[in-house]
Structure 1
Amino acid sequence: MIGLREITLEYLGALEKTEEIPREVDLPRGSNMDIKAMVGPRRVGKTFLMLRTVKDLMEKGERVLYLPFDEPELRKLSARQLAEEIRREFPEGRVTLFLDEIQEWDEWDTKLRWLHDIGDFNIYVSGSSSALLSSEIPSKLRGRHVSKLILPLSFREISGKEQPTTFRERGKLRKLLDDYIKWGGFPEVWLTKSREKVISILETIFYRDIIERFAFRDVKEFREVFYYVLSLYGGYFTYRSLQRALKGLGVEANVKTIMNYLHAMELSFLLFELPIFSTSTKTIMRSPRKLYLVDMAFASLFFRGQDTGRKIENLVFLELMREKSYRNPLLELSYYSDGKGEVDFVVRVGNIVRELVQVTYELNPSNYEREVLGLIKVGKRLGAEKLTLVTMDEEKTIRERGKTVEVVPLWKFLLRGRQS
């Protein structure tokens, strides 16, 4: 078997040939006694973050190894065999391990627990499965683990700028935003502006993260569901409404099967489900949910030039998710609907509603009552601390009925410094 240090150095060599887009997200923070996990879709930059940290630690003279489990030889090893190989490289002292795509290692949770419990290693892992999230981590690792969701590049990371101050800067930023809405934030896609790259990522998620992992027997049926569900981003759904719609397309899947399909797509970080805001668990369970994609490149691939309003809404959702993952994991996100009014996003911590965020392509006299007055009514009802209306271009402050609504253009919302 090739030496573990040699594997590490080979991948570090590849890092030097990669164009870097600086990230505003760090590795998960925890003690040396915690397993630190980065999770998110494939090709989102988790490996790059790991390798950059490995390089920094090696330059400081620390004992460190990067081990990618898409390497067949590594996947064959038991935990004890891997530990023995590590000790061949570093006979003494604590070693920092970066274990990439850990879900490819059979019985990875049991093996990780053994590596953790022997106390020889400071462990970082990455994976393309939400089974590594704190909320879903297997019971064998509870109390031994912290995790962070890594999303595609934000607009702030891509622009590399603070708020523009001149018309030239603003015009350039708007062109960059147009490209971002079309191409999204997967690093490879952004750097190449390649439709083929988008297809490659989507097909990898389809086959490796879903078909192979969940062993769906009817691949043709799942493919029909897969593409139809992608088209629903920004929209409401229930499993029964999905069943009826799919039946109209000739897909005769039962509700349980459809639930399994969507669950697999969510576990692979292809999409997210947003629940309704309610104090009643029964209401939350029975009410429709909203669907959002992990990146706008997928929307642009299948629905080019359409539904700009839904794309803006999806981008706002992803920015709120970055805030939750990178800055404040206590944030809870939901939408509001009471039959009289709707708000796209309720941002809260515990019982405190920090912000209501409404999204519309433009504000005009025909939608003022729905977008502004409706937002104010819900804001009063929930005691919201802040009311924000995101549009494509408009910027102003509206004061009405004792409340203030900040109307902000999308580019400004995406640059307002949420990450840390």
Structure 2
Amino acid sequence: MISLTEITEEYLCSLRFIEEIPREVPLPTGKDIKAVIGPRRVGKTFLLLKTAEKLREEKNVVYIPFDEPELRKMSAREFAEAVREEFPEGEVTLFLDEIQEWEDWDVKLRWLHDVKDFDIYVSGSSSSLMSSEIPSRLRGRHVSRLVLPLSFREVGGESPKTFRERGKIRKLLREYLRWGGFPEVWTTRSREKIISILETMFYRDMVERFAFRDVKEFQEAFYHIISLYGGYFTYHSLQRALKGMGIDANVKTVMNYLRAMEEAFLVFQLPVFVPSMRKILRSPRKLYLVDIAFANLFFKGLDEGRRIENMVFIELLREKSYWRPEIELSYYSNGDIEVDFVVRAGGHIEELVQVTYELNASNYEREVRNLVKAGKKLGVKKLTVVTLEDEKTIKEGGKTVEVIPLWKFLLREPQS
């Protein structure tokens, strides 16, 4: 059998052929199994390889993709013996990719973890390493990192300091609003790449994984659900809408369709901010896409404010996923007052964020005065309005509202 060191070297050498966009994703640390999860084609394998390359300077490192036929046949004990044959002393850091190809991978990972010889990172197909599956199969022995598409900081760099840099960053934002952050899409500006990713998610991560029998019905529901991004829904309202399209699916089926899309990391749900869990379950939720490129395939005539709102949500989700897992995200609704995002940590609301395409006299009451009313009611000091280009500070009702352009919001330094 080819040596594990040689396999590792072959794959690390492949990094020289990749057009690299440096990532800001902090991988988990500690002694638990570290699972790198997220939508397909988002760069999970690249992150494993870059981390392995960096750690190899000071640690014993093995990178193994389990689509290697000989490796798939190994038991956990045989694999451990092969590692120890090449690295007899010291802890070995294992980077195990395409882990779903290793039969009974959860049992084998638990064994490797429990013998205490190895520091373990794993990743694999989105259709196998789903968000709900990792906790049940690894039984408290893991920490996960959700990897999202490229952030605007990753493609745009630091905040601009001159008018030239500001002009350049605004142009780049227009590109980002069109193409989104999937690495292959961003580097190629290819509509075909977007279609390919979405189709693969549909068939591999949803149809095959969940064994939907009526693929045509699910496909119609799938595209309708995507069209709801940035809007409100309940399972019953979704069922009624589908029925109006000629899809006679019951509520349980509709819930399964939406669950499949969530498990593949295509969509995310945002709950309402209320103190009662029962009210949260009964209230409408908002829906967002993992990347705006998918909306741009089909819905070019829709309100650009929804695209901006979707980007703001993903940026807040990125902050939660990468640096501040303690924060909770929701929206606020009370009578005529609605606020797009409530950012909470430790029971304390840190910020209210409102999103609109532009701020003008016709929407000032809705976007600013209502935000101030919500801030007073909830006792929040930090009030932010995100628009495409507006930038100003507003004093309203004894509160300060910061109006910032989207590029500045997306380039904000993440808190840790």
| TM bin (shorter chain) | over 0.9
Q: 1:122 and 1:395, CA in 2 relative to 1: closer, same or farther beyond 3 A?
A: same
- Return 5+ residue gaps in structure 1 as ranges: none
Local SS of the residue matching 2:148: coil
Does structure 1 residue 169 correspond to structure 2 residue 165?
A: yes
Q: CA deviation at 1:73?
A: 4.3
User: Does the CA contact (< 8 Å) of 2:65 and 2:97 recur in 1?
Assistant: yes
SS of residue in 1 equivalent to 2:402: strand
Report the counterpart of residue 283 of structure 1 in structure 2.
279
Q: Tell whether 2:411 aligns with 1:415.
A: yes
State yes or no: 1:310 paired with 2:306: yes
Q: Is 1:68 matched with 2:65? A: yes
Q: Is the 8 A contact 1:133 1:149 kept in 2?
A: no
Counterpart of 2:37 in structure 1 is 39
Return the alpha-carbon distance in structure 1 between the equivalents of residues 375 and 138 of structure 2: 40
Contact 1:348 1:354 in 2 (8 A): yes
Matches within 5 A, 1:9-408: 9-30=9-30, 33-60=31-58, 62-129=59-126, 137-139=134-136, 141-161=138-158, 163-408=159-404
Distance 1:18 1:65 in 2: 20
**Whole-Å separation in 1 of the counterparts to 2:70 and 2:300:** 42
Q: Does residue 7 of structure 1 match 2:21?
A: no
Change (3 A) 1:211 1:90: farther
Distance 2:233 2:73 in 1: 42
Conserved in 2, the CA contact under 8 Å of 1:358 and 1:390?
yes
**In 2, Cα distance between the equivalents of 1:398 and 1:222?**
47
- Count residues with an aligned counterpart: 416
Give me the whole-angstrom Cα distance separating, in 2, the residues matched to 1:73 and 1:305: 51
State whether residues 28 and 147 of structure 1, in contact with CA within 8 Å, keep that contact through their aligned partners in structure 2.
yes
TM-superposed CA distance for 1:243, in Å, is: 1.0
Query: Equivalent residue of 2:390, what SS?
Result: coil
Is the Cα contact below 8 Å between 2:60 and 2:92 reproduced in 1? yes
Q: TM-score, normalised by structure 1?
A: 0.94
Change (3 A) 1:137 1:394: same
The alpha carbon displacement at 1:385 in A equals 2.9
Task: Give the CA deviation at 1:388.
Answer: 0.2
> Are the equivalent residues in 2 in contact too, given 1:40–1:127 (CA < 8 A)?
no
Identity %: 72
Which secondary structure state, in structure 2, belongs to the residue aligned with residue 375 of structure 1?
Answer: helix
Helix, strand or coil: the match of 1:59? coil
Contact in 2 for aligned 1:40/1:129 (Cα 8 Å): yes
Cα distance per residue 1:27-80 (max 9 Å; x no partner): 1122xx3111221111111211111121123333x3211122344544443323
Q: Structure 1 residues 86 and 329, CA, compared in 2 at 3 Å: closer, same or farther?
A: same
CA distance in 1, matches of 2:310, 2:150: 14
1: distance between equivalents of 2:27 and 2:209?
26
Q: CA deviation at 1:189?
A: 0.7
* Cα distance change, pair 34–71 in 1 and its aligned pair in 2 (3 A): same
CA distance in 2, matches of 1:70, 1:316: 37
Q: In 2, are the aligned partners of 1:37 and 1:146 still within 8 Å (CA)? A: yes
Residue identity in the other structure for 1:400: E
| 8 Å CA contact 1:134, 1:145 repeated in 2 | no
Instruction: Return closer, same or farther for 1:138/1:24 CA change in 2, 3 Å cut-off.
Output: closer
Farther-moved stretch of structure 1 (327-336 vs 34-43): 34-43
- What letter is aligned with 1:372? V
* C-alpha RMSD of matched pairs (Å): 2.0
Residue identity matched to 1:48: F
SS at structure 2 position matched to 1:362: coil
CA deviation profile, 1:363-410 (whole Å, cap 9, x unmatched)? 111111111000001111111131000011100001111111000010
Cα displacement (A) at 1:142: 3.8
Q: CA deviation at 1:254?
A: 1.2
Q: Which runs of 5+ in 2 are unaligned?
A: none
